[in-house]
Amino acid sequence: MEQVVKVHVMHTGDLKYDQSLAFKELNVIPPVNQRGEAYQQLVPVSSYLIEHPQGRVIVDAGWHEDIRTNPKEHFGEELYQFIEYRSPVGSSVREQLESKGLTPADVDMVVMTHLDEDHISGLQLLIGAKRFLVSELEWKHVASYKAKWYQGISFEPFELEPIPYGPYKLGKDLFGDGLVFLVYTPGHTAGHVSVLARVEGGWLLLVSDVGYAEKSWKELVLPGNTFDEKLALESLQWVQKFAERPDCVGAFANHDPAVLPGIY
Ligand SMILES: [Zn+2]
């Protein structure tokens, strides 16, 4: 029988922001609620559990439980003005693992698609997991000024290797068996990766923040924040092409409200 993995989509809470943060339309993104309700979006903040025959992988950490009681301190003043956050009890990555009978010690690898705050906020809830991985490029660009988020965690930055997929055919075959690829899809950030998982029926592409919803790659709309617009467009174009493959069963943006929690 063909080996496959299972992907659990978990929503760790949600996030409200001006729509220009998701879909580039302005040069400067306004703080949340400044432009009125019609311009605001409420979206999920996702984390994923991948069950591979050789181990469990968490992709992105979502929100920390601290934001329920202490958001200003958790995020800092500057970020606080751009977004509103919510993480109902039971929704953090730690709590959702617990509801599946798992603890961080049962997690073999934590993989970060990139190091934006809505992806690293909950990292410390995963202390006890065996390994923490991030691309070396992302690490080099971001690590030094976000150190407070990684206290107690020792990241292994990985070098990009040739793989059969992606806009540059670079990334990492996570288990060396072609079932889970980290795919180098830069542009939103310097070392952003997407995750390609071989599930029942074909490939599931966890796009992360290459785009914020299906319309991002259908209409080639860049994210509001980009490290490099040319790379961001090339990554979006690759997602557009990959999503059209008959063996692609889904392309999921991290913050797309149309992607529901569940097991895929
Ligand atoms: Zn994000």
Q: How far is the CA of 260 from the centre of ligand 1 (A)?
A: 16
| Whole-number pLDDT of residue 16 | 93
Q: How far is the CA of 161 from the centre of ligand 1 (A)?
A: 24
Of 23-37, 73-87, 88-102, the poorest mean pLDDT is in 73-87
Q: How confident is the model at residue 75 (pLDDT cuts 50, 70, 90)?
A: confident
Q: How far is the CA of 142 from the centre of ligand 1 (A)?
A: 15
Structural domain contains residue 91: yes
Count CB atoms within 10 A of the CB of residue 202. 14
Pick from 192, 217, 195, 222: nearest CA to 206: 195
CATH number for the domain spanning 124: value is: 3.60.15.10
Q: How confident is the model at residue 1 (pLDDT cuts 50, 70, 90)?
A: low
Q: How far is the CA of 2 from the centre of ligand 1 (A)?
A: 33
Pick from 242, 227, 161: nearest CA to 191: 227
Q: For ligand 1, a single-atom ion, which residues have Cβ within 5 Å?
A: 118, 209
Structural domain contains residue 1: no
Q: How far is the CA of 9 from the centre of ligand 1 (A)?
A: 15
| Whole-number pLDDT of residue 76 | 82
| Whole-number pLDDT of residue 138 | 96
Q: What is the pTM of this model?
A: 0.96
pLDDT average, residue stretch 139-162: 90
Asked whether the CA dihedral 64, 67, 73, 77 is positive or negative, the reply is: positive
Q: How far is the CA of 171 from the centre of ligand 1 (A)?
A: 20
Q: Distance between CA 51 and CA 36 in Å, rounded?
A: 42
Q: How far is the CA of 202 from the centre of ligand 1 (A)?
A: 25
Q: How far is the CA of 44 from the centre of ligand 1 (A)?
A: 9
Residue 164 has pLDDT above 90, yes or no: yes
CB-based burial label for 58 (10 Å; 0-12, 13-18, 19+)? buried
Q: How many domains does the chain have?
A: 1
Pick from 189, 221, 227: nearest CA to 208: 189
| Whole-number pLDDT of residue 95 | 98
Q: How far is the CA of 1 from the centre of ligand 1 (A)?
A: 36
Range(s) of the domain holding residue 31: 6-263
Distance of CA 204 to the CA centre of its chain: 14
| Whole-number pLDDT of residue 92 | 98
Q: How far is the CA of 255 from the centre of ligand 1 (A)?
A: 7
